[in-house]
Amino acid sequence: MNRIKCIVSYDGSKFHGFQVQNKLRTVQGEIQKAIHNICKDEEIVIHASGRTDAKVHGRKQVFHFDTKRDMPEKQWKRAINHFLPNDIYILDSFLVDDDFHSRYSATKKEYHYLLSMNEYSPFETNYIYQYGKSLDIKAMKEAAKIFIGEHNFASFCAIDPYGNTIRTLYHLDIIEKNGIVTFKLIGNGFRRYMVRHIVGGLIQVGAHRIDKAKLEELLESKGEKKCLFKAKPQGLYLHEVFYE
Amino acid sequence: MNRIKCIVSYDGSKFHGFQVQNKLRTVQGEIQKAIHNICKDEEIVIHASGRTDAKVHGRKQVFHFDTKRDMPEKQWKRAINHFLPNDIYILDSFLVDDDFHSRYSATKKEYHYLLSMNEYSPFETNYIYQYGKSLDIKAMKEAAKIFIGEHNFASFCAIDPYGNTIRTLYHLDIIEKNGIVTFKLIGNGFRRYMVRHIVGGLIQVGAHRIDKAKLEELLESKGEKKCLFKAKPQGLYLHEVFYE
């Protein structure tokens, strides 16, 4: 068996998320269909570094799969792309060791969230959250500091009483250029909705609806007081997945 | 009666062009539906500066319509936007004189065509022509000069034996930045497919498949020898319409 690692970029606009769902159009479903055209006698299941939700984009998402088929590693890129729809594109392909796993070998992940303070644009609506008002960038940058380091993010992710909600956030940078705000988050892992809740909370600070202390109170309550603000999926990008 | 002028921006990806067509989703159809929600007892038809084809985008397209309804001019923008789908957006609205006509009063139009020489991007596929190879920008800039001024563009537009194909092109600039090539054309008017044929011909020059002299020969044949290269609609933007 050969283990193939692929780096994939996708526009999440027209997908019901990454993970296969019966009859719905998903990124995983489309990729598996494409691979099936190449490996017709195998039932291939791909394993991604993690799921992304409906409308969330992938820039350098990673997945792997096992196949009996022998091919030069770079030819997988070309072959799979040939069968993919135009909103998914394999950027690179590698033959990797059997002990590589897209999800378990990942050490860090980087997410970006894009928000526009400018007037509504019909071209950006699926790609940048059309907030349309000014935000206090300085206040958001100051409040962002509370998330850095190891924390129990229970107040900032989907409710799951059994999950481990402790994660380490290494970076949370906020960059504004021409009215577009980019939130860049790097951490050892992210729970479902975690980026959207953190960004949602920061937007509330930027709009002067809550202050840094209130945000910190939510974080320190470790799930007792939930962050009720969740930024829209359209502005979210799984930017990159890092391995040793 | 009041004549209302609107400036509208639309992502052409999911439209069968601008002009109303029975049962198909068009920009004009969606705008008229939105206006019908405001002026329920009137049958309002909008008049645009010109049509755009399927998948072609509008940045500052202009249209006007007549209505009995009285409203402060800027409120039309807000009211129509309220009923529009998210891929169309009114940028501004004005109350204008009865002798203003979106099409007949227009003196100049500016079109942009975007092409990428970079690797394929699933995010750009509806917005920038994914050419994916290098082009000789210098050769294209040099060849572009032949189109400047008044010419019979019959070889560079859709076949129409009765139409007047004489137009004046004031500017044709080609700008390259980070592998994205922008063709900017300003003229007193453009026939159907004219921008796409001019850009298509220039791409052939940039790819060294034909030279400037050959392109000039096509232009000077005044329709006898047609330019067979037509750039895809996805990269084309009606950028702006100018009035006195």
pLDDT of res. A93: 98
Q: pLDDT category, A163, cuts 50, 70, 90?
A: confident
Q: What does pLDDT average to over chain B?
A: 97
ipTM of the complex: 0.93
Residue pair A145/A209 in contact (Cβ under 8 Å)? The answer is no
Half-sphere exposure of B55 (CA within 13 A, CB side): 14
pLDDT tens for B28-77 read: 999 999 999 999 999 999 999 999 999 999 999 999 999 999 999 999 99
* Domains B2-96 and B107-243 belong to one CATH topology: yes
Dist. CA B184–CA B144, nearest whole Å:
11
pLDDT of res. A190: 96
pLDDT of res. A191: 94
A9 to chain B: closest CA residue: B122
Q: pLDDT category, B159, cuts 50, 70, 90?
A: confident
| CB atoms B88 and A122 under 8 Å | yes
Tally of residues, chain A:
244
Helical ranges in A183-232 per DSSP H: 194-206, 212-220
Nearest 5°: phi and psi at A112?
-120, 145
Residue pair A115/A203 in contact (Cβ under 8 Å)? The answer is yes
Smallest CA–CA separation between B57 and chain A, in Å? 9
CB neighbourhood size of B217 (10 A) = 15
pLDDT tens for B187-216 read: 999 999 999 999 999 999 999 999 999 999
pLDDT of res. A81: 98
Domain covering A108-243 assigned CATH 2.30.30.100 in the classification: no
Dist. CA B37–CA B44, nearest whole Å:
11
For the ranges A157-161, B101-105, B143-147, the lowest mean pLDDT is seen at A157-161
Contacts of A12 in chain B (CB under 8 A): none
pLDDT of res. A89: 98
Smallest CA–CA separation between A1 and chain B, in Å? 30
User: Does residue B163 surpass a pLDDT of 90?
Assistant: no
Q: pLDDT category, B243, cuts 50, 70, 90?
A: very high
> B residues 127-186 near A, CB within 8 Å?
127
In chain A, domain spans? 2-96, 108-243
The mean pLDDT value for A184-203 works out to 97
Is residue B106 within a helix (H) or strand (E), and if so which, with residue range?
A: strand B106-116
Q: pLDDT category, A98, cuts 50, 70, 90?
A: very high
Q: What does pLDDT average to over chain A?
A: 97
Dist. CA B198–CA B230, nearest whole Å:
8
Contacting residues for A67 by C-beta, under 8 A, at least 6 apart:
A1, A2, A4, A35, A39, A42, A44
Residue pair B11/B87 in contact (Cβ under 8 Å)? The answer is yes
The mean pLDDT value for B121-125 works out to 98
Q: Is A87 on the interface with B (CB under 8 A)?
A: yes
The mean pLDDT value for B88-110 works out to 98
CATH architecture observed for domain B107-243: 2-Layer Sandwich (3.30)
Dist. CA A80–CA B28, nearest whole Å:
39
Which numeric CATH code is attached to A2-96? 3.30.70.580
Half-sphere exposure of B79 (CA within 13 A, CB side): 18
A130 to chain B: closest CA residue: B86
